[in-house]
Chain A
Amino acid sequence: MLTYKDVGLSEGEYQEIVRLLARTPNDLELGLFGALWSEHCSYKNSKPFLAWLPHEGPFVVQGPGGNAGVVRFNQDYDVAFKIESHNHPSYVEPLQGAATGVGGILRDIIAMGARPIAVADILKFGTNQRAHALRHGIVEGIGAYGNAIGIPTVTGSVGYSALYDANPLVNVLAVGLLPQSRHIGADGAKPGSVLLLMGQSTGRDGIHGASLLASQDFGTETESMRPTVQVGDPFMGKLLMEATLAIVTEGLADAVQDLGAAGLTSALAELAYASQVGVTLDVGAVPCRETGMSAYDIMLSETQERMLLSVPKSHLEAALRTIKTFDLSVAEIGRVMPGDFLRIYLDSNQVADVPTQVLVASCPRHVLPNKFTDRFTLPANSESAPIPLTIDQDLGFRVLRHPDCQDRSPIYSRYDSTIQVRTVWGPDHDSAILHLGEASEGLQIAVSAPSRWALIDSVAGGYAVVVDVLSRVASQGAVPLGLTDGINGGNPDKPEEYERVAGLVWGIAQAARDFGVPVTGGNVSLHNETESRAIWPTAALGVVARHPHPKAPVADRPDAKGLTIALVNPPGDPTLGGSVLAEELGRIGAYPRIAPDVTIKALNLMGTWARDPDAVGLLACRSIGVGGLFVALSRALMSRAPQYGADLRLSAEHAALDLFNETAGQFLVFLDPALKNSWVSRAQDGGVTVKILGETTDSPQIKIQAGRTVTFELHALWQAFREGGGSNHVG
């Protein structure tokens, strides 16, 4: 006999199951509950705060609840997109953990009937020796899957902190194109249809992945969890993708559900619940890779590269024929019926019978105390960040050498970023821009996860990460269609960790509302703790946007001397709180609460100008983020053979604050000097500040006059950017 502890449930949850079923569950049924009532599948702790996120918007076709969010792109196509995490498996087995993370989110997109066209990875690593090895394995795993299945990895984000030493984060965003005629989901299964299981044969890999691995903290026994990690096979994934899309295109299925966390259990229950039908399963009909697998093993296996199809009988022959052309194994494993149940049979004996309503939607949720959110109104108390009195070369180099500001090319050059031939801007830019062939409009994809911003005041950090991705969109004049969020936090049973993560989501929700961009789906990964050390609360935000001129993006580097350099929307009262420089100086301080009104105006104005850059003399543009203005300016000018430099004049007492504050919603712009005055006056009319900083030169250096003059040679900055060299950072 199993106990509730064996499947990761609490005593209270067990009693609730007994009450709802009006009987005690047998071992197999208990296993089903262990999987679906886990944090990973039920979102029992996170649902109360996820409810704050806005889901409605003019472009939303499908909000949260399906396998991925869907937004309208143009009259022909929709875009399906979502972030998923694979943090715990990537620590236990970095290569396979990360690879299956990519495979898993791609199947989510495919299950919506969309063809994946891009992947982005948001990674957080530790700083010790082991973290270095983990990074190598994780990057290899992401590349191994994405490269082989043929989906380009077009953008990404990476950050480092010792707090991620034993809890690296692997969040992956996938984006797919969906012809509007082809909508399918898990919610269309009709009584009478046949359930087909297609793809890899089921093995003993990944059993309890959702309930025990992803939903509990790590301790010393983590090593023994290796068997709970799945193994990815991108070759099979490719065949499965093509077969699924062929079946959906031919209209042969009424519902599709991929098998991910909690395997067949979750797939069957979700499909039945979403379609409001009952399902029966003949567990003996499931093709197995190993002999002697029990019904329990089969139901909880997380073997990858499997897809569940609901096919009307009239289409069965055609569907089987299509699957056969891809040399995939397929089996009829069950039936769709009217009702609300998941019934499992073995050798004609019924071995489990559970209402799907109870299984999927009845897990007791975390209840928030009264007035819980009042605490988010005021900024967190903290020591203020240090303010250097003067700037010198050391400050600039220390920030540029910081691993969070360094060149990411050692990572992204291991990913195929050009396959499918849509990549106009790839990972060497701040966001990706894809052209879509005949369509005049393209797709912009940006991700951001500056977790240092959320370290002390997670509300401020959550808000700012939304502003950060939307600023990248505004800098191209693109229209944001929707957001997806990956929320990563520590143990939700600890009130302080719960509050930090809830604050992060509160911030995201406020920003999404303020800027009018909905969150159409995402992922929550809690229990990122090892031996009671939690990670920084980390929000990975992704945005998809409609780009007005994808084949001619607004440049992110100036290409002439004498251009006016200006800063749009500098903060009135800048602080180094939450910045890389503050960390370097040893006292991080709280990240500022961003002023909504002026920032909304700034993003709107920037978006308008970038939509028609020639008309306003906008020659190049970058949004300001991690590392502040200094890093943005350096990245706009540095290269192997730099041509143009900059002369900047800043006020002596504020120079360090101006250069290194990381307040999101600011833009570094390079302007036609003839139009600079009109910028200042037009911005003023719109209620936005534009500060003229200087101009570009034909000398390869950045010269900053702020009381005294400090000069940075661009080739030296380039070297620091490429090679790093911080004393205690992973290189």
Chain B
Amino acid sequence: MTRSMDAQREVGIVVFPGSNCDQDTIKAVRELGATPRVLDYRLTELPPLDRLILPGGFSYGDYLRSGALAAAAPIMDAVDEAALLGMPVLGICNGFQILCERGLLPGALLPNPHGTFISQLETVRVTAVPSGFSGLAVGDHLALPIAHHEGSYRIAEGQLHALFEQGQVFLQYSDPDGAVHALTNPNGSVANIAGIASGSVVGLMPHPERAMAEYLGSADGRRFLQAWFGQKGSPGC
């Protein structure tokens, strides 16, 4: 299906050994009319691209710490460089963990407090609109699935305030009506943080690529990805 979006947009999707949401992400990107390009973790230079996604999964089997080994993979120098030049970079779940481990995003993702994996549909509230996004407003809420073992967001003492001040906290776990409080926190993240942005680099624990249609439980992931693509509104979706 071709949408109104510029179909020429090339989106690099980095596949590490153990990535397992790469195919889902490729499908979602294609559904939105963009062109996915699979990037092997051994590359040291990126082909010409407009955007980059680090998909979810268990890169390197989560050995050492989630994302820690992938953060040192050969391709990551090139990812650094692209981010520095302002290319939009999106990390989903394990991709978010990798961006934090790499230092491209502040903070870290710790094991869930109960020590167990959590897989369920969550509502997240848009707390700030990262640069380059369109079609999302502060206060919007999105129903997106989470599926992770290490999603408890933490930040060094004294830095939380600055994250909010600078609009870097862009998604928070909320109740279905968008209210953020302790009871709506699935994984012990500080201040219910579900997503963080830093310039053109954004990361989130929920999986927008799995919420592409109402019959899957939610189409809000489609809306989120369209917003990331800078595509206003979502007619027909």
Contacts and interface: CB of A to CB of B under 8 A. Distances in A.
B74 interface: no
A419 B24 contact: yes
A235 B24 contact: no
Interface stretch (B43-51, B96-104, B192-200, B204-212): B204-212
Nearest to A238: B18
A414 B119 contact: yes
Interface in A409-424: 412-421, 423-424
A235 B213 CA distance: 30
Contacts of A234: 58, 61
Interface in A131-156: 140, 143-144, 147-150
B17 A235 contact: yes
A420 B117 contact: no
Contact of B24 (A143, A148, A421, A552): A421
Given A148-B61, A150-B57, A238-B18, A140 B116 contact: yes
A398 interface: no
Interface in A189-243: 233-236, 238-239
A20 to B, nearest CB: 45
B23 interface: yes
B117 A421 contact: no
B209 A421 contact: yes
Interface in B59-82: 60-63
Identify which of A150, A326, A552 gathers the most chain B CB atoms within 10 Å of its CB. Answer: A150
Interface string A100-122: 00000000000000000000000
Contact of B210 (A143, A236, A326, A421): A421
Given A234-B58, A234-B61, A235-B63, A419 B147 contact: yes
Interface string B202-226: 0000010110110111000000000
Task: Bin chain A's interface residue count.
Answer: 20 to 34
Interface string B104-129: 00000000000011111000000000
Given A424-B215, A551-B215, A418 B210 contact: yes
A566 to B, nearest CB: 27
Contact of A148 (B18, B118, B209, B216): B18
B145 interface: yes
B63 to A, nearest CB: 7
B21 interface: yes
B63 A148 contact: no
A653 interface: no
B61 A416 contact: no
A635 B127 CA distance: 36
Contact of B119 (A148, A235, A238, A415): A415
Could you say which of B21, B60, B62, B216 has the most chain A C-beta atoms within 10 Å of its C-beta? B216
Nearest to A147: B117
Given A150-B20, A150-B57, A239-B17, A421 B120 contact: no
A115 to B, nearest CB: 10
Contact of A418 (B57, B60, B207, B215): B207
B117 A150 contact: no
A143 B118 CA distance: 10
B212 A421 contact: yes
A234 B216 CA distance: 26
A149 B28 CA distance: 20
Contacts of B28: 421
A137 B46 CA distance: 43
Nearest to A416: B147
Interface in B176-208: 207
Nearest to A641: B176
Interface string A550-583: 0110000000000000000000000000000000
A327 interface: yes
B37 interface: no
Contact of B149 (A147, A149, A420, A552): A147
A74 B58 CA distance: 33
A415 B28 CA distance: 22
| Residue with the greatest number of chain A CB neighbours at <10 A, chosen from B20, B23, B213 | B20
B210 A413 contact: no
B175 to A, nearest CB: 11
A72 interface: no
Interface string A428-439: 000000010000
Nearest to A237: B61
A421 B216 contact: yes
Interface string A666-694: 00000000000000000000000000000
Nearest to A422: B216
A693 to B, nearest CB: 30
A424 B216 CA distance: 5
B154 interface: no
The listed residue with most A CB atoms (<10 A of its CB), out of B23, B27, B210, B213, is B210
Contact of A416 (B23, B63, B119, B215): B119
Chain B CB within 10 Å, residue with most, of A236, A327, A416, A424: A416
A317 to B, nearest CB: 21
B147 A147 contact: yes
Contact of B145 (A148, A239, A327, A418): A418
Contact of B20 (A140, A149, A327, A414): A149
B117 A416 contact: yes
B61 A233 contact: yes
A420 B61 contact: no
A418 B147 contact: yes
A150 B21 contact: yes
Contacts of B207: 418
Nearest to B63: A235
- Give the one of A149, A413, A419, A551 with max B CB within 10 A: A419
A435 B145 contact: no
Contacts of B217: 418
A293 to B, nearest CB: 25
Nearest to A551: B215
A238 B58 CA distance: 10
Contacts of B149: 147
Count chain B CB atoms within 10 A of each CB in A147, A234, A236, A435 and give the residue with the most.
A147
A413 B120 contact: yes
A413 B119 contact: yes
Interface in B139-154: 145, 147, 149
Nearest to A143: B117
A233 B61 CA distance: 8
A331 to B, nearest CB: 20
Interface string B145-181: 1010100000000000000000000000000000000
B20 A148 contact: yes
Interface string B16-39: 011011011001100000000000
A440 to B, nearest CB: 13
B118 A413 contact: yes
Nearest to A409: B120
Contacts of A238: 17-18, 20, 58
Contacts of A150: 20-21, 57-58
Nearest to A427: B119
Contacts of A420: 23-24
Nearest to B214: A551
Nearest to A417: B119
Contacts of B58: 147-148, 150, 234-235, 238
Contacts of B213: 551
17 contacts: A144-B117, A147-B119, A147-B149, A148-B61, A150-B57, A150-B58, A234-B61, A235-B58, A412-B119, A414-B117, A414-B118, A416-B119, A418-B147, A418-B216, A419-B21, A421-B27, A421-B212
Interface of A: 140, 143-144, 147-150, 233-236, 238-239, 326-327, 412-421, 423-424, 435, 551-552
Given A238-B58, A239-B18, 6 more contacts: A144-B117, A150-B21, A150-B58, A235-B63, A418-B119, A424-B216
Interface of B: 17-18, 20-21, 23-24, 27-28, 57-58, 60-63, 116-120, 145, 147, 149, 207, 209-210, 212-213, 215-217
> 3 tightest CB-CB pairs across the interface, nearest first?
A235-B61, A150-B20, A148-B58
